[in-house]
Amino acid sequence: NAGVTQTPKFRVLKTGQSMTLLCAQDMNHEYMYWYRQDPGMGLRLIHYSVGEGTTAKGEVPDGYNVSRLKKQNFLLGLESAAPSQTSVYFCASSYSKTAYWFTFGSGTRLTVV
């Protein structure tokens, strides 16, 4: 099915561990985004990419790194997980930079203990 696929769906990490969240889209979208969703905070942009090989910081980039080596994949890395990174992470993609549909993944629920 066409869309945005996020893996894994759930993960529990210990403080200090590292992990990578994968986002894959098969719609040939140029723009890809990583958000985190926390109770009472709404969705906040972590990093984004405007095309293959490019990445940029969003509102809350500290503690995260990203890479977009292939157009269809956008990876979000946590080098040393902290409890404050416990959240639900959503990836999204869009064909154009403005006034175009966003397609969201199903989310990754991450708990850092």
Binding site for another protein (CB under 8 A): 31, 33, 40, 42-43, 45, 48, 50, 56, 90, 92, 94, 96-107
Closest to another protein by CB, 55 vs 85, is 55
What is the rounded distance in angstroms from the CA atom of residue 61 to the CA atom of residue 56?
9
Q: Closest CB to another protein among 4 and 75?
A: 4
CB of 11 or CB of 17, closer to another protein: 11
Q: Return the number of the residue (30 or 63) whose C-beta is nearest another protein.
A: 30
Sign of the dihedral through C-alpha 97, 102, 105, 108: positive
| Cα dihedral value 31, 33, 51, 54, nearest 10 | 160
Instruction: Say if CB 8 and CB 91 are below 8 A apart.
Output: no
- Give least dist CB 43 to another protein, A: 5
Q: Taking the complex as a whole, how short is the minimal distance between the CB of residue 26 and another protein, in angstroms?
A: 16
φ/ψ of 29, rounded to 5, equals -75, 140
Rounded least distance, CB 10 to another protein, Å: 11
